Amino acid sequence: MIKSLSHSVSRRPQFILRFIARYVVAGVFVLYLFKYLLNAPALTDDPISPFPTTPESESVAKITVPLASTDGHPIDRLVRLADERFNSLLSTQTSTLSDASAAYRERRGRHPPPGFDEWHAFATKHNAVIVEEFFDQIYRDLEPFWGIPAATIRKDANDFEMRISIRNHTASSGSGWFWTQIWLNMTSTIEHMLPDMDIALNAMDEPRIVVPSETIDEYMAKAAETKKMVPAADAMSSYGSLPPPRTGDNPPMTWETEGSYWDIARRGCPTNSLSRHNLNPIVPYQPVKISMHLSKPHMENGYVSNSTLSTDFCHQPDLQSLEGIFLRPLSISSTKTLLPLFGGSKLSVNNEILLPAPMYWNEEERFMGGGGANIPWDDKLNMVSWRGVATGGQAQKTNWHGFQRHRFVSMNNATAVAAAEYGDRQINFVLPDTEYQLQASTPSSVTGEVKGLSKWVTQWSDVGFVDLPCFPAEEEGQCSYLDSYYTKLPGKSLAEQFKYKYMPDVDGNSFSGRYLGFLRSTSLPIKATLWREWHDDRLVAWKHFVPMDNRFGDYYAIMEYFLGAGNKPSHDDVAKKIALDGQDWAKRVLRKEDMQIYVSRLLLEYARVSSDDRERLGYVADLS
């Protein structure tokens, strides 16, 4: 249930006297305005850069719901451009093996791997939408491995403690870890198409590999030398048997288990990037520093225009104190060595090879929502719903105020928002920039009265934590340094949350396992993330979901656009269009069959790069 402002204020009794006193003097409008501006973040005074183009990761159904909106609002333009980009992407869809092979060679600069014909037959049998760009993540992940010896790849995979092995078209694993068993189940459904190989698996939430960017550059330069198409007569069309692991050991691998993960992660950034050289850790007990101007490369007029770039922290050094993974993750076990480790998600700098996450393949109801996913849009509550645990890492009394979920929930807390409106500087968020001209926070031109952002947020926000873990843990589930800021709310099943139109999705310890469930539903996902997943090249921001900056400075403005406020109209039709387009697209390209198609293609490529004959291996039957 939504807590009223008066109810919310009671959560922090110490605020009441301050609230009343300031309310009495609120008529001094100039003083209020001064305080307000002091607490507002500045996006930038410079012109916003043009709409970026990222053909490999931000590509793109036809408009399914007629729209009354035009380009009168920045979001109108972003939605229109997303439709255009999506239609452009669909125009590259192939239907025949010959066309798919040609599209492969044009985009990859190599022959397709052996088994490509069987892979294509499998994809066609399962009515796949075959667009070559959908598989770009595979080549971003595997290309550096062309720069190291194939025998090294095989040895590292065979030596890894948690792995799946395929021999004679049969997948097996000696690990009983539940993630391994789920991935094994998935691999077993496509084992008949796969050659012998060993697949090393990351069992942790957090990614484990960050090779320095200059080292990756060296590998990529070597890989470029191998990018060629041998004459068809010289090509090898069979992988052959997997040779035994070479004798002797690969160079010793060093695992980093302590220290700052920011120091580990930033070595993966380009040497000339802001984050590579920026150390600005969180200050204990002091308000976080939110630098909205650093979002400029991925924003247009205050809204995310390049969602892929928004997940790259290398131009956003302030995120080192705004994300749990950088503040204090649950665990650290990282290496600088490039090894063929597969996992479900990673940051932009990590070198894991992406698979569909286990919870996506397993389709557990707590992540997918069951039958509630199909509630008609017009039957839903015109509100936001979010429930979750205060995860993100080890939220301690000195750093919790930088954690992303804590920041987001505070921005939905009427008490905290009201305090910020009346000049109290909040420890983990700031009020939005005046560029957005939010109706709820715009003073009346007649009386100077502030309409009340906090009261407006209370009308549509049903957001809260169901648990508040502390580090170190305290007795009986209490958390002394969080209890004065947050009240735990009753949990809600995902099916219950699907009764709401708007579903924000915020990272936890790593990626959010509910995202696929959101996309498959008739609710509208509002996505803020730093994490990369297997399906990213299949989704188009503002077409299938609404992107949100990881600082959340655009959150209120996004909601005002969709819900309306005062004399600003709602855009329910646009929200409905994105939600339903997203659901329709997820049913076409994010099925379990699509996971099989992606993973079988990935593993064919992995088998090739792991072979001593990799430069000659290729499918060339279509050329004869």
For residues 48-52, give the mean pLDDT: 31
At residue 264, does pLDDT exceed 90? yes
Which tokens in the block code for residue 86? 């999506």
% helix / strand / coil in the chain, to the nearest 5?
Answer: 45, 10, 45
∠ Cα 117 138 171 (to 5°): 65
Query: At 369, is the pLDDT very low, low, confident or very high (cuts 50, 70, 90)?
Result: confident
- Binned at pLDDT 50, 70 and 90, residue 616 comes out as very high
Out of 40-54, 268-282, 322-336, least confident range: 40-54
Q: Is the pLDDT of residue 331 over 80?
A: yes
Contact (Cβ atoms closer than 8 angstroms) between residue 439 and residue 566: yes
- pLDDT of 12: 38
Q: Tell me the sheet residues that pair with 165.
A: 172, 198
Query: pLDDT > 90: what percent of the chain?
Result: 79
Q: Determine how β-strand 524-528 pairs with β-strand 546-547.
A: parallel
* Range from 184-188, 308-312, 371-375 carrying the lowest mean pLDDT: 371-375
Please say if the pLDDT value at position 47 is more than 70. no
Which of the four pLDDT bands, split at 50, 70 and 90, describes residue 624? confident
Percent of the chain with pLDDT over 70: 86
**Strands, E assignment, 453-577:** 461-467, 500-506, 524-528, 546-547
CA distance 266 to 213: 9
pLDDT, one tens digit per residue, over 91-137 is: 999 999 999 999 999 999 999 999 999 999 999 999 999 999 999 99
Average pLDDT, the chain: 89
Residue 340: CB partners within 8 Å, gap ≥ 6?
145, 153, 156, 157, 199, 200, 353, 606, 610
Q: In a 3-state reduction of DSSP, which class is residue 500?
A: strand
Integer CA distances (angstroms), 43 to 230, 291, 298, 549, in order: 51, 8, 12, 12
List, in order, residues 6 or more apart from 102 with CB less than 8 Å away: none
**What is the rounded distance in angstroms from the CA atom of residue 133 to the CA atom of residue 131?**
5
Task: Report the C-alpha gap between 611 and 613 in whole angstroms.
Answer: 5
* Mean pLDDT of all residues in 315-320: 98
Helix H or strand E segment including 197: strand 197-201
Residue 294 has pLDDT above 90, yes or no: yes
For residue range 480-513, list pLDDT tens digits in order: 999 999 999 999 999 999 999 999 999 999 999 9
Question: Quick one: how far is CA 233 from the chain centroid?
Answer: 44
Q: What is the pLDDT of residue 200?
A: 98
Q: How many helices (H) and strands (E) does the chain have?
A: 23, 12
Strands (E), 409-567: 461-467, 500-506, 524-528, 546-547
Give per-residue burial for 103-139: e unless 16+ CB within 10 Å, then b: bbbeebebbbbbbbbebbebbeeeebbbbbbbbbbbb
DSSP-based three-state secondary structure for 413: coil
Q: Among all chains, which residue has been given the structure tokens 């997203």?
A: 582
The arithmetic mean of pLDDT across residues 38-44, rounded, is 37
Residue 70 has what pLDDT? 55
Confidence class for position 449, pLDDT limits 50, 70, 90: low
* Residue 138 CA: distances (Å) to CA of 519, 568, 572: 22, 44, 37
Which of 67 and 598 is assigned the larger pLDDT?
Answer: 598
Give the pLDDT confidence score for residue 450 in this predicted structure: 55
Mean pLDDT of 324-335: 97
Amino acid 511 reads F
**Residue 154, burial from CB neighbour count under 10 angstroms (0-12, 13-18, 19+):** buried
Tokens of 342: 């597969």
The answer to whether the CB of 294 falls within 8 A of the CB of 362 is no
- Confidence at residue 295, expressed as pLDDT on a 0 to 100 scale: 97
Give the DSSP letter string of 255-291.
-B-SS-HHHHHGGGS-TTSTGGG---PPPTTSPPP--
- Over residues 139-155, the mean pLDDT reads 97
C-beta of residue 578 within 8 angstroms of C-beta of residue 61: no
- Predicted local confidence at residue 102, as pLDDT: 98
Higher pLDDT pick, 281 / 94: 94
Residues 6+ apart with CB under 8 A from 358: 178, 179, 182, 183, 344
Cβ contact 92:107 at 8 Å: no
Average pLDDT over residues 464-492: 94
Q: What residues form DSSP beta bridges with 171?
A: 166
Tokens 């699509």, located at residue: 594
What is the rounded (10 degree) CA torsion for 338, 340, 345, 350?
A: 10
CB atoms within 10 A of CB 14: 8
User: Is pLDDT at 63 greater than 60 in this prediction?
Assistant: no
Query: Whose structure tokens read 């579903």?
Result: 503
Residue 6 to residue 10: CA distance in whole angstroms: 7
pLDDT higher than threshold 50 for residue 66:
no
Rounded distance between C-alpha atoms, residue 510 and residue 365, angstroms: 20
pTM: 0.88
